[in-house]
Each structure stands twice: as C-alpha cells, then as structure tokens.
Structure 1
Amino acid sequence: MTRSLRVLYISLFMAVLLALGAWSMRSFLGFSTNADATVLNGRWAKAVETHYDEEFPIKRLGTNLWAALDYKLFNEGRPGVVLGRDHWLYSDEEFNPAVNEEQNLQGNYALVEGVRQTLKAKGIQLVMAIVPAKVRLYPEHLGDVRPASIHEGLYKDFHARVAADKIIAPDLLGPLQQAKHNGHQVFLRTDTHWTPDGAQVAAQQLAKAITDKTPLSGEPQRFVTEAEKTEPHKGDLRLFLPLDPLFENLMPPQEPLEKRVTHAVQTKADGDDALFADSEMPVALVGTSYSANPNWNFVGALKQALGSDVVNYSEDGHGPILPMLSYLKSDDFKNSPPQVLIWEFPERYLPVNNEIGDADPQWVAQLKEAGTRQQNMALNTQLNTQLNTQKSETPDRAQN
C-alpha cells in the first residue's frame, strides 16, 4: 500500500469514527440524570456511559442485524418469547419447565391456603381469578414448539386444589373459549395479556360467582363503560424481537387496541354530596399487570359487573405473590378490610419461585406452614371418610 493510500485509508476510518461519534452525541439532546447523580460521586459519569452505550449506532446495528438473522433464518427471538404462526407471540413462561417446579407448586399451593386463612381471620372472603395461559386459548397458532408437561394440566389442577381448600374460583377458561368462538379476540396477538373483551368476560364470571356465593352488602352502584378510541398497540412480547429501527418491516405488525373507560353514573337520588359521602368499599383486587394495567380495563369491567366500587392493589411486573404479601402488610388491610378480595393469579406463575420483595421470609414461611397443615388435615379427613365408606360397604357385600 502506497503512502497516499494509507493516508486515504486512515482518513476514511477517522471520518467514519467521527460520523458515528457525532451521530451518538445527538442522543444527548434532552439527556438528564437524577438529582443525586453528580460528578463527585461518579453516578453522573456512569449514567452518561450507560446512555452512550445504549445509543451507540454500531451496537444498535449489530443488535438489529443479529436479531434479524435469528428471526428469519431460525424463527427465534430473544429468551422470553416463543414465535408462533401468523405473527402470534407467546411468553416462554408458558412453555419452559421451571427449576424445582414440584417444590414451587406445593409451596405456592400452601401459600394460597395460608393467605385464605389470614383473610378469613379478618372476615374477608377470598375469590381466586385464575387466568388461563394464552397458549391454552390459542394453540392453533403454534408451530412445532409445545409447552412442557408441567403446564399440560396446570389450570385444571389449580382449580382442583383451590376447590379442596373451599376457595371460590369460577372457571374463566370455558367462558373465554366461548367468547373466542363467538368472534371476540380475548388475548392480544403480540402481548402477554388479555384484551378488554377478555377482561370483560372474566369480570362477568367473577361477578356471577360472587353474587351467587357471597353477595355484597350495601346498595348497588351503577357503572357505565365507554369506548374512548382505538390505537395501534405495541405488544410487550415485541420487545424480545429487537429489530427496530433498522428492520421494523420484519416485526409482527402492531394491532388495534380499543381503549375503554368506566365511570360511575350519578343519579338525582344520590344528591349533590354523594361524591363526597363516606361509603364502604366491599371489594378489593390484588393481582398482576392483567389487573394493574388500565389498557385492559379489568377494574372497570369488574365495577360494572359487580355494581360496586373496587379498590385495586395490583402491581405491574411483580407476579401475583408479591402484591398480595404487600397488601397483607398494608394499613388498608388492617384498618379497612373489604368484604371480598379478588386475587388475580395467572396459572403460569404457579410452578415458579415467585419473588417476595422485602417481605419477611420467616413470615412467608409461616403462611406456607399454616397452609400445609390445613391441606394435610383436609387430606386426612378425606381419606378417613373414604375408609369409613369402604368399611360400611363391606358387610353389605358379605351378606350378598
């Protein structure tokens, strides 16, 4: 290589670096950090480094290119998503076997019973909203991947266990399947969650069970749900396909999501001071993002179906166990217990080791121990009943 070519090569290389650096520096327009991030404590420098690393063009190009190859050549995304046909995406939590799954199953079953006992001691009726897996409702869009054996009978087993513990838990799978058969989409194509239609079906089934088995006290309230607008929705499972912005055209298309809002109906009989009246809150809701995210309007659908206000203690991104533990330690639970508590619990969280946050591990263990003792007592009672039945039938057989 001649001296002129070397100079040209170096100049082009430096020009590319400068162009990429300038491109990256554009990302600092409007960049800010927390007030506690200063130069002296090093947090400001760390924030700048992290921001630059995330926005560096070559990194984005590499990420997009690698994701595109995985997606087109191997039909795979990042860990966390399972790709189906027709642009359907599923959470891999509904497919993969969990570590220590049998131990987790028994521990979570015991914890549910321990929670029931804690609520019963305060005079609160527990109602379980067991959310069936998306793959259970839409298996027709799967490719060759199938859920692990632990997931096959999980929904039915969960219902059998809570029934043995005498916990109210209406079936949501059948009504959701019927709504799907009638032309309603009950789960989003590119998202983990149900649609507002699916949330409404679940709310109606829960309200019917509560009305039949533990009617609410107080005067019913009237709520009305209205559709506000329909917007394109980027499902949370699309995040596991880092194809944008360079390969956005390869991404599963966004889907329409109808935003709904529910509000109480004010009547003349209520009077002008009704909005400020001190009224009892007979229903509380604890759950996951199926309940916490307003996009699905699950809380609003519950209010309308129940004819009652609902206090929502659900949390996004923490599973079903942690929000319940937080609620049981809250002042609201101690001072203003509801008549009925609905616990929304997706079935896929049952065989995993759910996080407990900063809850006291010893207290959580005590809840599980109490639940295990009660379940063992119930099992012994059932076995004794079966033995007594067999003994009473033996003489009859002998005489015959």
Structure 2
Amino acid sequence: MMLRPFSRRTLIAATLALGAGLGAGPAFAQGPSIITGKDGWLFPGWESLTVLNRAAIGANITLLQDAKTALATRGTTLMVMVVPLKASFYKEKLPDGTTISADVAGQYDLILDQLKKAGIDTVDLRAALKGVQTGRQTSFYRADYHWTAWASEAAADAVAQAIKAKVAKLAGSPPGEKLGEWVTQRHLGDLAQRFLTPDQQKQIGPDLYTVRTPQAAKSSLVDGGPAPVHVVGNSFVQPYLGFPQKLSNALDRPVSLTWNPGNVGPWATFLQYVGSPDFAKSPPQVLVWQFNEGPFHSGPQATDQWDAPSIMAPQAWRDRMLAAVRR
C-alpha cells in the first residue's frame, strides 16, 4: 500500500506500462472507444461530451459524504480531487462537428459545488492545469488519456496548498520527497496504442513524455513512520507522473499511495486501502481521493466502467466501507 519510489531500472518498465494503456479506460466502454481529433489529438470516447447525469452524480456525492463522516471518526479528513476533462482544455482539437454541450461544460462546476454543499473538501484544478500550458508544455498528452507530469505536479501543488489551509499542523517529520531531474522519452500514447491500428499508429506517431528521474531507491517514502497524507486513485496519481512525490515535496512530509488502473474503479480502490492493516493501525490525517470528471457519475455498480470484480451495489459498498473504517 505504501508508495515506493521507482528505481532507475524500473522507469522504462513504467513507461511501457503507461503506453500500454494502464488505467486508460473502462472495462466495457459504451459507444466509440476513441475520438480522433485534429493534429493527432485523441480523446476518450467513453467520456460523454453531451450528457450530464445529475442524478448519478448526486448519488455518488451521498456515498462520498458517508465516507467523509466515517473517516472523521478515525481523525481523517477527506479531500476529493477531480481531474477535469481533457476535451475541455483542447476544444479546438476536437474533430469538426464535435462539441461539448452546455450541460457538460458546466459539469465540473456542478461536481465541485455539490461536494462543497456536502461539506467535502475539494480543489479546483483548472487554473493549475492551464498554468502549465506554455511553449511545448501541455496539460494532457496528445494521444494519451493522462495529464502530463507538468500538470500532475501543478495539481499536487494546488492540493498541498489546500491541505495546509485545512490542517493546522501535519504530523510526521520532514523532509518530504526530493524531486529528480527532468528526462524526456518518446513512446506511443495509451489511446493510440490501445485503440488504433498499426497503420494509424504510424500516422499519429509517438508523444514526448517529460518526467522526473527517480531518486535513489529507499525502502519507502514513509521510513520515518506512518505518512500523515495518503492518496487513493488511478493511474493519474501513479509515481511515473509524479503526483505523490510532488505532493510530499510541497508538504515537506511523507505521502503514501494506493492506486490501481482505471478499470478497477475508485470505489474498489478506496475499499482496498481502508481495509488494509496500514489504515487500521495508523489512519492518515488527510486522505486525498482522486476521481476523473468524465466517469464521476459512475458508482460502484457501473458495469460499463469497472471490471467485474470491482462491481457492487451502492449499499454493499457503503456497508463494506463502514465496516472497514470503523474496525
């Protein structure tokens, strides 16, 4: 469960895993799997650009509110982090005739507003992500589902500021993670690798991935004791893209991590962590739970998004969550 920094030897393996579509999409995507835009830009077809499911979003907010209340009994603050739609940052790259509806254009604001009304801490990441767009730097990779390492680190800075504003004093001792130097690699984006034919892949070509080189291996980021902040999420917060390391660096405290590929889903991943001995023994002060805007409406029962082992009724998820957190 604890984050273990990548060694230099495993950096290439992580690159290949990301390029192979690690966490790129749902188990059974409805409709087109991919939207081919202009200038080689690709977008996930399983994220609707036209339909806003208000009722499902509201139902999931209720589940999150239950989790927030349960975590508070263990002294843990829940902070929900929602990654915005890639398409909302690159509307001009969508194919002619493909637009984002007014409802979906307001979806991110709706999600944040409902979280705040439910008393759940959250962070608006849009300004941070837009702030990295300069020169050749982008917020998302061209032919990949994921945000770039620049965007990942900017998001981590924004979350760190929110944590500092919420928690007067973080437990644990400095230092936080030391960041490595930047290195640039070339490989196919996961959307291109998963969904395009070999000929189409040649036409799209590889993307440039500028990421941090890992620091010298150590046993874990939490050698000095339990981390005061734990991150739960999908491949957007995996170490390869640098989110947990940058969050640790910005907080000057250890940060631990539980993540799975996106097809596992956030609900099952959350249960995996709160059901672990690490949580039972030493609950963190802050639990950062990462979601993506596109499938935010998908609850634990969403068979069109998550693999079969992850599927459960919302009430079953709530019961398992309460049993795990309160034990």
Residue 300 of structure 1 deviates from its aligned partner by 1.3
- Whole-Å Cα distance in 1 between the matches of residues 255 and 109 of structure 2? 28
- Using structure 1 for the length normalisation, give the TM-score: 0.63
Residue 366 of structure 1 deviates from its aligned partner by 4.9
Give the one of 272, 280, 295 matched to 1:326: 272
Q: How does 1:1-400 map to 2 (within 5 A)?
A: 79-95=32-48, 101-143=53-95, 144-148=97-101, 150-180=103-133, 184-214=137-167, 215-227=169-181, 229-244=183-198, 246=199, 248-250=201-203, 252-263=204-215, 278-292=224-238, 294-317=239-262, 318-353=264-299, 354=302, 355=306, 357=310, 362-366=315-319
Give the SS at the match of 2:290.
strand
Q: How many residues align?
A: 281
Tell me the alpha carbon deviations over residues 94-140 of structure 1, each in whole angstroms, 9 at most, x when there is no partner: 33567x93442222111111111121111101111111111111212
- Whole-Å Cα distance in 2 between the matches of residues 209 and 249 of structure 1? 43
- Whole-Å Cα distance in 2 between the matches of residues 247 and 207 of structure 1? 40
- Whole-Å Cα distance in 1 between the matches of residues 273 and 223 of structure 2? 25
Check the 8 A contact 1:193/1:290 in 2, yes or no: yes
Check the 8 A contact 2:50/2:103 in 1, yes or no: yes
Give the SS at the match of 1:280.
coil
Give the SS at the match of 1:158.
helix
Give the SS at the match of 2:39.
coil
Give the SS at the match of 2:185.
strand
Tell me the alpha carbon deviations over residues 139-176 of structure 1, each in whole angstroms, 9 at most, x when there is no partner: 12112212355522111011111111222212110121
The structure that is helix-richer by fraction is: 1
Check the 8 A contact 2:173/2:224 in 1, yes or no: no
Q: 1:258 to 1:305 in 2, by over 3 A?
A: same
Q: 1:220 to 1:277 in 2, by over 3 A?
A: closer
- Whole-Å Cα distance in 1 between the matches of residues 164 and 241 of structure 2? 23
- Whole-Å Cα distance in 2 between the matches of residues 231 and 264 of structure 1? 20
- Using structure 2 for the length normalisation, give the TM-score: 0.76
Tell me the alpha carbon deviations over residues 337-356 of structure 1, each in whole angstroms, 9 at most, x when there is no partner: 11111111111121234447
Give the SS at the match of 2:131.
helix
Give the SS at the match of 2:143.
coil
User: What code does the residue aligned with 1:126 have?
Assistant: L
Check the 8 A contact 2:266/2:291 in 1, yes or no: yes
Return the structure number with greater relative CO, CA threshold 8 A, min gap 6: 2
Give the SS at the match of 2:78.
strand
Check the 8 A contact 1:223/1:265 in 2, yes or no: no
Check the 8 A contact 2:222/2:255 in 1, yes or no: no
Check the 8 A contact 1:132/1:172 in 2, yes or no: yes
Tell me the alpha carbon deviations over residues 21-57 of structure 1, each in whole angstroms, 9 at most, x when there is no partner: xxxxxxxxxxxxxxxxxxxxxxxxxxxxxxxxxxxxx
Q: 1:276 to 1:329 in 2, by over 3 A?
A: closer
User: What code does the residue aligned with 1:221 have?
Assistant: P
Cα RMSD (Å): 3.0
Check the 8 A contact 1:288/1:314 in 2, yes or no: yes
Give the SS at the match of 2:244.
helix
Q: Which has the larger radius of gyration?
A: 1
Give the SS at the match of 1:338.
coil
